[in-house]
């Protein structure tokens, strides 16, 4: 590449690294751009690591101990790295003219780019100025790569914490459901049997006894529904498709709303955590439904042979989500889905309000 187009080379580098990438990809891009440079016989790129500089990429020459790691402890300041590298390469008896350019990201030296002149001809002042500018651009790209990697690591940590929290919540729900079933529900069943026996012994059922029987039946029914909501046994026993269908029928019977469920009889087996996330999404979505028409659709579409996409969409005809409580509910749904690698989209159109949960397996 002619030296008359240094800005074009820098522009190509920026264009090639505009998307988030790691240090290795950035250095490979730099190497690819400089490989055919008529004045460069080879390069060596050193990256700062804890207490050392390490050779990360090179081409165009061979030195037996060139990949020896340089101690960072002996360098008083970042700016001295180029001087240290020059002395190091000269001691390695590299038969070439070398120029070392620091790679500075923000205010910190992240490494150095060492360029070997072709045919032993020293680099000109204009060439060195270009290399210094290129070093700054590469340094900024490396700095951005470090920031991106740190952000991704932070996101992964947050995701892992959220996943552990969801697991803990589900375990606690299961514990409470078991306690309700073993204790409160069983005791109420015993009480109802006792009340039924008292009723059978009396020619006429006293009003107070009838009231007690009705109250007992009501509390027993509500506790059973609560235990079922906390731990949907049908989800574990019969799978997600049947569990969603059963829940839609339950909401229809309880509220009178018209819920049309469109499922898949051959729905694939998925991880329990994903199934629970989708089931909770349906629960939360239908929690405020009191009337009207709702369409629920579960689908699995293969993006590839090994990576299907699971979608669960809920369309409430003439529905809206506007008040603060409902918005908080949407935020909770989104967090739950994101914790298992899913996404939530919301759309308001002429049909009503559409919520779609999507999980890439």
Fold of 6-154: Beta-Lactamase (3.30.450)
DSSP per-residue codes, 214-261: HHHHHHHHHHHHHHHHHS-HHHHHH-HHHHHHHHHHHHHHHH--EEEE
Per-residue pLDDT of the chain (361 residues; tens, 9 = 90+): 444 477 888 888 888 888 877 888 888 888 888 887 888 888 888 887 766 667 776 776 544 444 444 444 444 445 566 666 666 666 655 545 778 888 888 878 888 888 888 877 888 888 888 988 998 999 999 999 888 888 988 888 887 787 788 778 878 887 888 888 778 888 888 888 888 888 887 777 788 888 888 888 888 888 877 877 777 777 877 888 998 998 888 888 877 788 899 988 888 778 888 888 898 899 888 876 766 788 999 988 765 555 678 899 998 886 555 454 555 577 778 888 888 888 898 888 777 888 999 988 7
Q: Of 237, 303, 228, 313, which is closest to residue 272 (Cα–Cα)? A: 237
Q: CB pairs under 8 A, 24+ apart, for 269-275?
A: 269/239, 270/240, 270/310, 270/361, 272/236, 273/163, 273/166, 273/167, 273/340, 274/310, 274/340, 274/342, 274/359, 274/361, 275/235, 275/239, 275/240, 275/243
Give the CATH class of 237-361: alpha beta
Task: Give the CA distances from residue 77 to residues 56, 72, 80, 84, 110, in Å, rounded to whole numbers and listed in that order.
Answer: 21, 10, 6, 11, 12
Strand partners, 103: 111
- Strand-strand pairing, 40-49 and 98-105: unpaired
- Strand-strand pairing, 342-349 and 352-360: antiparallel
Question: pTM of the predicted model, to two decimals?
Answer: 0.59
Q: Where are the domains of the chain?
A: 6-154, 237-361
CA 40/CA 202 separation, integer angstroms: 107
DSSP per-residue codes, 11-59: HHHHHHTSS---HHHHHHHHHHHHTT-TTEEEEEEEEEETTEEEEEEEE
- Residue 140, Cα to own-chain centre: how many angstroms? 26
């Amino acid at each position: 590449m002619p030296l008359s187009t240094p800005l074009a080379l820098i522009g190509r580098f920026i264009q090639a690294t505009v998307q988030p990438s790691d240090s290795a990809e950035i250095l490979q891009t730099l190497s690819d751009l400089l490989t055919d440079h008529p004045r460069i016989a080879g390069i060596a790129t050193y990256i700062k690591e804890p207490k050392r500089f390490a050779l990360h990429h090179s081409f165009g020459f061979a030195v037996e101990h060139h990949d020896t790691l340089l101690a960072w402890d002996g360098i008083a300041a970042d700016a001295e790295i180029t001087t240290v590298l020059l002395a190091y390469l000269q001691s390695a008896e590299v038969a070439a003219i070398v120029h070392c350019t620091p790679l500075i990201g923000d205010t910190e030296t992240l490494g150095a780019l060492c360029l070997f002149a072709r045919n032993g001809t020293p680099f000109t002042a204009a060439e060195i100025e270009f290399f210094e500018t290129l070093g700054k651009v590469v340094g900024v790209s490396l700095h951005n790569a470090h920031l991106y990697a740190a952000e991704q690591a932070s996101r992964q940590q947050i995701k892992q914490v959220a996943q552990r929290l969801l697991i803990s919540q589900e375990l606690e729900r299961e514990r409470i459901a078991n306690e309700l079933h073993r204790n409160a529900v069983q005791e109420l069943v015993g009480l109802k049997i006792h009340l039924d026996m008292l009723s059978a012994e009396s020619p006429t059922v006293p009003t107070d006894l009838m009231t007690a029987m009705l109250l007992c039946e009501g509390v027993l029914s509500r506790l059973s529904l609560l235990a079922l909501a906390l731990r949907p046994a049908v989800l574990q026993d019969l799978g997600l498709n049947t569990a969603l269908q059963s829940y839609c029928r339950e909401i229809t019977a309880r509220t009178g709303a018209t819920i049309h469920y469109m499922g898949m009889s051959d729905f694939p087996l998925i991880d329990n955590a994903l199934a629970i996330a989708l089931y909770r999404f349906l629960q939360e979505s239908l929690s405020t439904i009191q009337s009207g028409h709702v369409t629920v659709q579960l689908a699995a579409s293969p993006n590839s042979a090994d990576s299907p996409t699971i979608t669960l969409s809920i369309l409430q005809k003439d529905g809206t989500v506007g008040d603060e409580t409902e918005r908080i509910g949407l935020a909770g749904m989104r967090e739950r889905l994101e914790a298992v690698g899913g996404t939530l989209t919301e759309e308001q159109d002429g049909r009503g309000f559409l919520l779609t949960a999507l999980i890439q397996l």
